[in-house]
Chain A
Amino acid sequence: MQNDLPEEVNKLIGKNSFTDQSPIMIQKGLWQNFCSSIEDGNKIYWDERVAECHTEDLIAHPAMLPSWVHDFEWHPQRKKVQPMELHFHLKNILNLPLGIVTEVDIEYYLPIKDGDAISANQTLLSVSELVKTKLGEGRYWVIEVKYFNQLEILVGKQNIHFLGYKK
């Protein structure tokens, strides 16, 4: 426990605080649009016959793992769910209105396929002491996001390092 942190923040450390549910079922057309935008012709994203030899079916581009829990920008029946809500919650509590990602560490355990549905749990791992940076005064923090498929099997994990700061 860090003494210079609000109790509300100390209580968040090490605990699963927010859960995101994929608003869509995974579809190959969605990942193939992404592959097209980066000109990635890897056949396990595109060609069933080649994918069958390695992953049994086509798989989604791994870089899209966090994308699957992003909500629609607009939905006819509800307000948009903020992605990485824990990060924005922390910024509010710590009164650090600005934030950037400084480092990303993502691990891939199982491939994502057509018809899968992904959920994610967010946990605050650590918050630094107050620091002075070129951007302003703030704190570094690390959020762990664990991704599960519809069978509740862990398919990947991401640690995102943020700097929250104010001018």
Chain B
Amino acid sequence: MNSKILPTTKYFTTVKNIQAGAIFSRDWAPLHSNQDWAINKGKLPNIIMNNYTLNGLVIKYVTDIYNESTRIGKVKFKINKPITPDKNLEFHGSIIKENKVSNEISILKIKVEVKVSDETYASANVVAGISLNNTKSNSPWKIDTDTWISYIKNS
């Protein structure tokens, strides 16, 4: 199939939300929460966003587009440039593969790019099960574990 472009969303980084993302994901490394350490000892421009927060934002991007029945199977991501405070992150996505496993459920492979202006700071491939009508009986969460893992491996 041709790739389908998904809506773009934005997230503005601040000292507070980068610190909160790190602390609430139990990541105590000072480069994510201590500006003095990051700048003077880490030789970084400022504190930087941790992996878990970035992964969380990528997952949020996908689940916000579809609905709460969306089941995330896999996220593969790469950070090209550290994400610091006061950046207007833009999340761009496109569906690069769709496997319709029933009348109501598709397994999507989605490419996500996290950009600031036109520069790509991070990129990810996400495998997600989506329900087209968001009903209980056709929720991707009802797929048994072995079948779910086979969808992830074959995506």
Contacts and interface: CB of A to CB of B under 8 A. Distances in A.
Interface of A: 30, 33-40, 42-44, 50-51, 53-55, 61-64, 66-68, 70, 73, 101-111
B24 A37 contact: yes
B55 A107 contact: no
A35 B141 CA distance: 20
Interface of B: 11, 17, 20-21, 24-28, 51-53, 55-57, 59-60, 63-64, 68-69, 72-79, 135-136, 139, 141-142, 145, 148-149, 152
Contact of B136 (A33, A35, A53, A106): A53
Contact of A105 (B26, B53, B69, B76): B76
Contacts, number: 107
Contact of A63 (B17, B52, B142): B52
A44 B68 contact: yes
A38 B26 CA distance: 14
26 contacts: A33-B24, A34-B21, A34-B24, A34-B52, A36-B20, A37-B17, A40-B56, A40-B59, A40-B60, A40-B63, A50-B68, A53-B136, A62-B59, A63-B52, A64-B26, A64-B56, A67-B52, A70-B28, A73-B28, A101-B51, A103-B77, A104-B75, A105-B76, A108-B73, A108-B74, A109-B148
A67 B27 contact: yes
B60 A54 contact: no
A64 B17 CA distance: 16
Given A55-B141, A107-B73, A38 B68 contact: no
A63 B56 contact: yes
A66 B52 contact: yes
A51 B139 CA distance: 11
Contact of B25 (A34, A50, A109): A34
A38 B25 CA distance: 11
Contact of B63 (A36, A42, A66): A42
A61 B73 CA distance: 13
Contacts of A53: 69, 135-136, 139
Contact of B141 (A54, A102, A105): A54
Cβ-closest 8 pairs across A and B:
A37-B20, A63-B56, A70-B26, A34-B24, A63-B55, A53-B136, A33-B24, A54-B141
Nearest to A105: B76
Nearest to B137: A53
A38 B141 contact: no
Contact of B21 (A30, A38, A42, A104): A38
A104 B148 contact: no
A61 B68 CA distance: 12
A103 B51 CA distance: 10
A62 B12 CA distance: 22
B68 A67 contact: no
Contacts of A110: 145
A104 B60 contact: no
B139 A105 contact: no
A37 to B, nearest CB: 4
